[in-house]
Structure 1
Amino acid sequence: MSLQIYLDGKLLPKEEAKISVFDHGLLYGDGVFEGIRVYSKKVFLMQEHIDRLYESALAIRLEIPLSKDEMIKAVNETVAANKIEDGYVRLVITRGAGSLGLDIRRTSNPQVIIIADNISLYDPQLYEDGLKIITAATIRNHPAALSSRVKSLNYLNNIMAKIEGTDAGCLEALMLNHKGEVAECTGDNIFIIKDGVVKTPSIDAGILEGITRNAVIKLAEQSGITVEQIPFTRHDIFIADECFLTGSAAEVIPVVELDGRKIGDGKPGPITKELNEKFKKLTRE
């Protein structure tokens, strides 16, 4: 059976799921999205993702044509229609079709697109061995230009940094902010551990406030681990005992090297492993 895509209130075979070439989501990256995991047929942290989606839409003055409850129902129906047990949902809202210009007043019919499919981001062995990453020359967007807390369809900033990473033979790349401080990776939030304390950049660093990031912070605090949301630099990563990334697709994955420098002993550390296990348990509750 063909993958069923939710589009404009209907479930359609993927071959029939089409939008206008005049849609501002295509023409200008004018829209918002969420990436959500499914575990054991249950959409993980659904409410948190839906809340962030509507906050992003509000920030760019995009009116979503469904209520939150209707959106949740649509996501669940799409997951069920595709018989997804463990997979991924991409929820996209576009501005809708308009003219060849920037004026949002000339757009209409925002499109709600829901894709539910399987996903495999990283090789399972990398969760055992850890990632090697580099620092991209491309910095994170200045927060005064476009808030990084808006999960918009315009991901060119991240894509340019991702290209640098893959050109260097790495699957991820670190992005700094306009101050030269650590922000996040191209698709994941970053954490370091030093002397038993977990540290991660605050939202003031120009990062996306990750749903998985917040879940891991909560798990750490519940385990009695101190978590600090503070500014830090590449040097702090170089001298850290451990490092890991979080994201809806990536989950919790260790990082063992940055820019040719081993982090700690060059292997995933005990706190990273502990938080990874706790996160896995959370996804099955």
Structure 2
Amino acid sequence: MSQQIYINGEYFSRENAKVSVYDHGLLYGDGVFEGMRIYSGRVFRLQQHLVRLWESAAAIALPMPISIEKLTDDVNECVAKNALDDGYIRLVVTRGAGPLGLDPYKCSNPQIIIIADKISLYPEQMYEDGLELVTAATIRNHPAALSPRIKSLNYLNNIMAKMEGLKAGCVEAVMLNTKGEVAECTGDNLFIVRRGELSTPPIDAGILEGITRGAVLELAKAAGIKTHEVPLTRHDIFIADECFLTGSAAEVIAAVKLDDRVIGNGKPGPVTTKLNEAFRKLVREQ
């Protein structure tokens, strides 16, 4: 069976799945989205993702044209229609089509799109050996301009930082906030381990409140690992014993070098490995 894309309650083949060129999601990045993992045919923490989607939509005054209960059913139906045991969901809500110009009140037909597909964010070897990071000159958007807690369709800030990383030979880049503190990577949250304790930037550092981030914090606390949500600088990463990233697409992956400085012993550490194993167990037992 060919891939089936959901648009406003109907299914289309990948080749025929289309939205208007006047959609303000395309023209102005006016919309929100969620990226979710499918494990053993089920979407991991679907309700948490949908609550965050509704919060993002509320923050940009985008009326949701569907109930959360109906969208829950539709997401699960889309997974089943595409016969995905393990995969990835991209759920997009746009402002809809309207005339040229920024006025969102001239758009009256929000579009809901569900894409169920496979994803491989990093090569498997990087999960075994860890990846290298570089600090991007492009800083995270000021939270007073556009809150990073809104998962909006405008990802140009992250894309510019991603380009810096790729040009430096790294698949990920660390983004700093307006204070010069570590915020997050271009698509992942960041953790460090120091003397057996876990630290990650707080929400007010200008980060997305990641679903996988939250799951890892829960797993660490359950394992008796002390956790801290505190401001971090590059110095903290340089002197860390371990560093790892989390995200729905990335899952849990070690980082072993930042700006050509080796982190710890340059290999995925025991705490990272323990939490990665606990996370993989969690997603299979959900």
TM-score, L = length of structure 1:
0.99
The one-letter code of the counterpart of 1:92 is V
What corresponds to 2:73 in structure 1? 73
Q: Could you give the per-residue CA deviations for residues 133-171 of structure 1, whole angstroms, max 9, x where no partner exists?
A: 100000000000000000000000000000000000100
What corresponds to 1:25 in structure 2? 25
The one-letter code of the counterpart of 1:53 is L
The SS at the match of 1:180 is coil
What corresponds to 1:40 in structure 2? 40
In the alignment, the residues of structure 2 paired with residue 73 and residue 90 of structure 1 have an alpha-carbon distance, to the nearest angstrom, of 15
The SS at the match of 2:265 is coil
What corresponds to 2:159 in structure 1? 159
What corresponds to 1:268 in structure 2? 268
In the alignment, the residues of structure 2 paired with residue 175 and residue 167 of structure 1 have an alpha-carbon distance, to the nearest angstrom, of 15
The 5-angstrom pairing of residues 8-19 of structure 1 reads 8-19=8-19
Deviation at residue 17 of structure 1 after TM alignment: 1.1
What corresponds to 1:108 in structure 2? 108
Deviation at residue 34 of structure 1 after TM alignment: 0.3
Aligned-CA RMSD value: 0.5
1:94 aligns with 2:94: yes
1:284 aligns with 2:284: yes
In the alignment, the residues of structure 2 paired with residue 119 and residue 28 of structure 1 have an alpha-carbon distance, to the nearest angstrom, of 26
The one-letter code of the counterpart of 2:134 is I
In the alignment, the residues of structure 2 paired with residue 48 and residue 257 of structure 1 have an alpha-carbon distance, to the nearest angstrom, of 32
Q: Could you give the per-residue CA deviations for residues 99-148 of structure 1, whole angstroms, max 9, x where no partner exists?
A: 11111111111000000011111111111100001000000000000000
The SS at the match of 2:187 is coil
Q: Which moved more, 1:256-265 or 1:120-129?
A: 120-129
1:252 aligns with 2:252: yes
In the alignment, the residues of structure 2 paired with residue 4 and residue 183 of structure 1 have an alpha-carbon distance, to the nearest angstrom, of 36
What corresponds to 2:242 in structure 1? 242
Q: Could you give the per-residue CA deviations for residues 164-184 of structure 1, whole angstroms, max 9, x where no partner exists?
A: 000001000000000000000
Number of aligned residue pairs: give it. 285
Q: Could you give the per-residue CA deviations for residues 213-249 of structure 1, whole angstroms, max 9, x where no partner exists?
A: 0000000001110000000100000000000000000
In the alignment, the residues of structure 1 paired with residue 270 and residue 247 of structure 2 have an alpha-carbon distance, to the nearest angstrom, of 20
The SS at the match of 2:66 is coil
1:225 aligns with 2:225: yes
In the alignment, the residues of structure 2 paired with residue 117 and residue 148 of structure 1 have an alpha-carbon distance, to the nearest angstrom, of 26
| Structure 1 unmatched ranges of 5 or more | none
In the alignment, the residues of structure 2 paired with residue 227 and residue 51 of structure 1 have an alpha-carbon distance, to the nearest angstrom, of 25
In the alignment, the residues of structure 1 paired with residue 126 and residue 16 of structure 2 have an alpha-carbon distance, to the nearest angstrom, of 37
| Structure 2 unmatched ranges of 5 or more | none
The one-letter code of the counterpart of 1:90 is R
What corresponds to 1:207 in structure 2? 207
The 5-angstrom pairing of residues 110-129 of structure 1 reads 110-129=110-129
Deviation at residue 2 of structure 1 after TM alignment: 2.2
What corresponds to 1:4 in structure 2? 4
In the alignment, the residues of structure 2 paired with residue 192 and residue 214 of structure 1 have an alpha-carbon distance, to the nearest angstrom, of 15
TM-score, L = length of structure 2:
0.99
What corresponds to 1:55 in structure 2? 55
Quick one: percent identity of the two aligned structures? 67
Q: Could you give the per-residue CA deviations for residues 223-276 of structure 1, whole angstroms, max 9, x where no partner exists?
A: 110000000100000000000000000000000000000000111100000000
The SS at the match of 2:249 is coil
The SS at the match of 1:284 is helix
What corresponds to 1:181 in structure 2? 181
What corresponds to 1:168 in structure 2? 168
